[in-house]
Chain A
Amino acid sequence: MNPSIVSFFRHVLSGLHTSHREKTVALTIVEMEELENIFALLLLGSFVGFPSPPTFLAVELLPFMEKELRVLNRRAGQANDMLAEMCGTLGID
């Protein structure tokens, strides 16, 4: 068989494999990001009127919270259309 055809099929199969793996973890990624969002929200809740932990606790953890703050920021932007995002993740048209 022509080696370029073999490499083409290998490429297609590898793509399918990656796509399946991505699809499998999609919901877990949403769950993880929601947890990260909750973590950041609890820690910095005083800014939006939530009861918050002692200030110094937030200050101590803040230097390591870059990822969570990004998620918090993105979630705040998408907050008005969370249903659409959930439908997208669950594959509901």
Chain B
Amino acid sequence: MAAAAAWQFSQKNRVLIVSLDPAHNLGDIFGITLKNKKKQFTENLFLEEVNIQKLSRDYLQREINVFSDTYKYLQALNLDNYFSVLKYSPGIEEYALLTSIEETIRNEKDFDYIIFDTPPTGLTLRFLALPRITITWIDQLTRIRKQILKKRYTIYRIRGTLSKEETVLDYDEEDDNVMKKLRRLSENYNALNKTLQGKDCSVVVVFNSDVLSLKESERLIEGLHDLNLPVRLFINNKITEENSELAAETEKSISRIAKDIPFERVSLSKTLLDGGHGSLYNIPEIIITQLQER
């Protein structure tokens, strides 16, 4: 659906579609090999598959470099390599995905639309929740840090330094490295959160007309609502003559929890059933009307 929407948008606008799903199939849909690089498909359409493992590796390498710089003296004993164990830190994939979204939004300014094709519900909700969770943690840590710096300042004012050799702990917010880092992270995540919740961002939920997909979609909608992320459109996918009645019921159930959000119906693709002979991205239904009218 993301590929189809990108194709339809690209008829009049410059579009970048980025696949964040670890099980990519964007290249397969457009019939080209992407190899983790942005590629131009038509004059207006660019495709990219994000390599989460590479992103995680790059991020951790950057942090390992900071460690190695801070503890440079360990190079003399050849012990600095031991920081490389950080590359096995859990929970980095979600961060890598979020960083990828943030960097794409920040760097790709010459596109009218950027479409992110996200992984299934669980992982998507986890990484979309990350900015808010992170901001909460940063706020709490900043509060404690401010207290620490206040105490340090009090101690410095009363006690001063006993000798010239004595190290004075940073008490100014502008000098303290931890505070500087917390501030920078806070700025980044607040900006990202603002972008994700802003009027220029739309979340499109695609579901199939079956009971399991309905339950999953309901949970996703509740999750997105909790995160204040704006759902603008539902796409009821793979409709056939047999399931059209169930499709109507599914839409009715979803309407109850997400009022005033339009639905688009998309029939089961014959190309998909034919074994992929033909363009999978070029579907007969126009699914972008509601998104353009905003």
Residues of A within 8 A of B (CB): 18, 21-22, 24-25, 28-29, 31-32, 35-36, 38-39, 42-43, 53-57, 59-67
- The 3 A-B residue pairs whose C-beta atoms are closest, nearest first, are A32-B151, A53-B137, A55-B91
Could you write out 25 A-B pairs with CB less than 8 Å apart? A21-B158, A21-B159, A21-B160, A24-B159, A25-B154, A25-B159, A28-B154, A29-B155, A32-B148, A32-B155, A39-B148, A53-B133, A55-B90, A55-B91, A55-B95, A56-B89, A56-B95, A57-B138, A60-B181, A61-B141, A61-B181, A62-B67, A63-B70, A64-B177, A67-B169
Which residue of chain A has the shortest Cβ distance to B176 in the bound complex? A64
Determine whether the beta carbon of B134 is less than 8 Å from that of A31. Answer: no
Measured between beta carbons, the chain B residues less than 8 angstroms from A63 are: 63, 66-67, 69-71
Measured between beta carbons, the chain B residues less than 8 angstroms from A35 are: 144, 147-148, 151
Residues of B within 8 A of A (CB): 59-60, 63, 66-67, 69-71, 86, 89-92, 94-95, 130, 133-134, 137-138, 140-141, 144-145, 147-148, 151-152, 154-155, 158-160, 162, 169, 177-178, 181-182, 185
Determine whether the beta carbon of B59 is less than 8 Å from that of A56. Answer: yes
Determine whether the beta carbon of B91 is less than 8 Å from that of A54. Answer: yes
- State the main secondary structure of chain B at its contact with A: helix
CA distance A20 to B159 in the complex (A): 9
CA distance A44 to B51 in the complex (A): 28
Measured between beta carbons, the chain A residues less than 8 angstroms from B59 are: 56
